[in-house]
Structures are given as structure tokens and as C-alpha cells.
Structure 1
């Protein structure tokens, strides 16, 4: 385990670049307040340097809310997004802090979609982002690295990306949504009956509960692509 001093000693931190992207963002981006003590703990537990974009986001934000909190990028944790990257992955992709995961969960959204960095679980395109889509329960490649993913969240066409996953009044429900809760739908969005989200009923559940449920269902629906939890 590298010390916090080693992880923050880079002469070329990535955070100034993220700030440049923030200044020209086309989407609504909210940087959640960072607590220095939590930031140090979160960075140490994640064992990533501030030289990397991931480390910079962890160390300099409590998390990032996109489109009023529709999409949540994990940082070091805050009141509105009470999960750090390392804490969220413990028990899901790692057993203990410092473990090398085969994939790392770094963001999620209000409809039960999860974003992860590939470290071998999904194929040879290492460090690329995959999306566990709630309407297929398959890990879909985005062909973006983590930095490119952050840039996409800031300025990409999210309406196009989420076509079919946003109901007509979605923005009225998101503004005050707890970042550790997500919507579960009936019929399930991945079922034949759940293809029209306007006809589905919504229920708020914890994001933890929804992730575990989706992983179980994924094993049933896509046994050829099972990713075992540690």
C-alpha cells in the first residue's frame, strides 16, 4: 500500500485538466463538496495517484452529479453521495482495500445502470469503461477510457445515450434524489414487458440493493458473461 504522501506527490496532477473540462461543460455538472479527511482516506483506500483522473476526482470531490444527479460519479463521499470509490467496491469487486479488482465500479445512474473500469473482467480492452445497462443487464463497452468518460459526462449527448431510459417527467424526480438510491421498475426494463418505460411503475430502492439484484439477475439472463463477486 502506497502512503497518502506518495499518492499525492505527483508534479502533474490531473485535477486542473478536469477543471478545464468543467469550465466548458455543456451538461449540468455539480461538484460535491470535498472533506479533506475523507478525501485522504478514500484515496489511500483506492490506492490511485492524483496523477490519474480517477485519483484526482476522488481526492478533489465528494462526487460529481450530472444532470441534477441523474448520473453520479463517485469521489470521496459526501452528504448527497455517501459512497467513496473504494468503499463502494468493497464486497463487490474487492474483498479488502488494496486488492486488485478485475473491474472497478466508478459511477451509476438513477435507473440502475452501473459504470465500471475494465481491469480484465470484460476483455482485453483494459482501463476502458463498461456500462451494465438496466434494459439488457449486459456489460456494454463504451469504448472510452475513464478520462474520456468524464469528458463525455460533461459535454456528451446524454439524452441520446439514455434514449428509452428516461420517462417524460424524469427531471421532476431527480433534483432531490439521494445519490445512494435508484429507481427500480416493474415490469423490469430488461423484460419483454418493460420496453416502454412510460408504462412502468417506479420504486425507489437503495443503489446497493439494486446492484446486487441486477448481478443476480444477470447470472440468470447472461450466464456466458458471469462476473463473480469476491
Structure 2
């Protein structure tokens, strides 16, 4: 484990660049307050330095909420988003702090979609961000690194990206949404011909949603492989 002192880059940190992106963002951005002690711990446990864009977000924010909290970008934890990058990945993609995971979870959204940096477990495009779609339960490459992912969150047309995943008056339901909760739907969004406006929905812990989505994703993938083999026969 690299010491905290060596992880803090005082000559060329990435935060001023990220802050400039936030200040000029087209979408609504809420930078959650940072607790310096928590930031120290979160940075050390992540083993990222503040020269990196992700390290700078961890060290300088309690997290970042996009579009009234629709997307939750993890930082060092706060009252509204009480999760850090390292803590959230522990026992999901890593066993111990400092481990190199197959991918690193860095953000999620109100409908159970998860964003992760690929570190070899999702494809050959190392350090690019993937999205676990709640309507297909497959990891989709965004063709962007973490910095470009932030710009996507700050400046892109999110209604276009989330077409079919936002119900009527969705914004009224998530304005004060707990960052540890997400909506689940019946019928499931990945079932054929599901219309989100006709689904029932309820809030569940994000821990529960992640576990379910990963397990179901593997189940659907295995079923697709079996079906493909049967067609070949």
C-alpha cells in the first residue's frame, strides 16, 4: 500500500481541470461536501493519486450527483451518498483494499445501471468505462475513459442516453432520493417489450440491486450460450 502522502499530488493535481468542467456543465451538477478525514481514508484505501481524475474526485468531493441525483458518481462519501469507491468495490470486485479488480465500480444511477472502469475483466479496452444496462443486463462499452465519462455526465443529452429508462415525471421521484437506494421495476426492465411507464416500481437498497443484477446477468448470459449451442446442433 502506497502512503497517503505519496498519493497526494501537490504540484499537478487533476481537480482544477475537473472543477472547470463542473463550472461549465450543461446538466445540473451537485458536488457533495467533502470531509477531509474521510477523504484521506478514501484516497488511501483506493490507492489512487490526486494526479488522476478519479483520485481527484475521491479526494475533493463527497460524491457528485448529476441531473438531480439520477446519476451518482462516487467520491469519498457524504450524507446523501454514503459510499466511497474503495468501500463500494470491496467484496464485489476486490477482497482487500489495494487489490487489482477485473473492473472498478465508479458510479450508478436511479434505475439500477452501474458504471465501471474496465481493468481487464470486461474487454480488451483497458481503462475505458462500461455500463451495465438495466434493460439488457449486459456490460456495454462507452468508448470513453473516466475523464470522458465525467464530461458525458456533465454535458451530454442524458434523456437520449436513457431513452426508455425514464418514466413520466421521473424527476419528481428522485430529487431527494437516498444515494444508497434505487428503483426496481415489475415487469423487469430486461424482460421483452417492457414499457417503463406501465411498470410498478419500488425502492430497494443498491447493494441488493447490484447483487441481483450481476447474478441475473450471468444467468442470462449462460442461457444465451446454451441456446446458441442448441441452434448449432
Q: What is the TM-score when the length of structure 1 is the normalising length? A: 0.96
Aligned to 1:139: 139
Measure, in 2, the Cα distance between the counterparts of 1:67 and 1:222: 32
- Gapped regions of structure 1 (runs ≥ 5): none
Greater displacement, 50-59 / 217-226: 217-226
Measure, in 2, the Cα distance between the counterparts of 1:102 and 1:109: 21
Shift of 1:166: 0.3
Q: CA offsets per residue over residues 3-34 of structure 1, 9 Å max, x none?
A: 11000035210000001101110000000000
1:129–1:142 Cα contact (<8 Å) kept: yes
Aligned to 2:174: 174
Shift of 1:223: 2.6
Shift of 1:225: 10
Structure 1 segments of 4 or more deviating over 2 A? 223-226
Shift of 1:122: 1.2
Aligned to 1:31: 31
1:10–1:49 Cα contact (<8 Å) kept: no
Closer, same or farther in 2 for the Cα pair 1:67/1:208, shift >3 Å?
A: same
Q: State how many pairs are aligned.
A: 225
Aligned to 1:218: 217
1:12-31 map, 5 Å: 12-31=12-31
Aligned to 1:207: 206
Q: CA offsets per residue over residues 27-71 of structure 1, 9 Å max, x none?
A: 000000000000000000000000000000000000000011000
Aligned to 2:67: 67
Shift of 1:174: 0.6
CA-atom RMSD, angstroms? 1.3
1:1-230 map, 5 Å: 1-193=1-193, 195-223=194-222
Measure, in 2, the Cα distance between the counterparts of 1:95 and 1:214: 20
Measure, in 1, the Cα distance between the counterparts of 2:222 and 2:73: 28
What SS does the corresponding residue of 2:124 show, helix, strand or coil? coil
- Gapped regions of structure 2 (runs ≥ 5): 226-233
Q: What is the TM-score when the length of structure 2 is the normalising length? A: 0.94
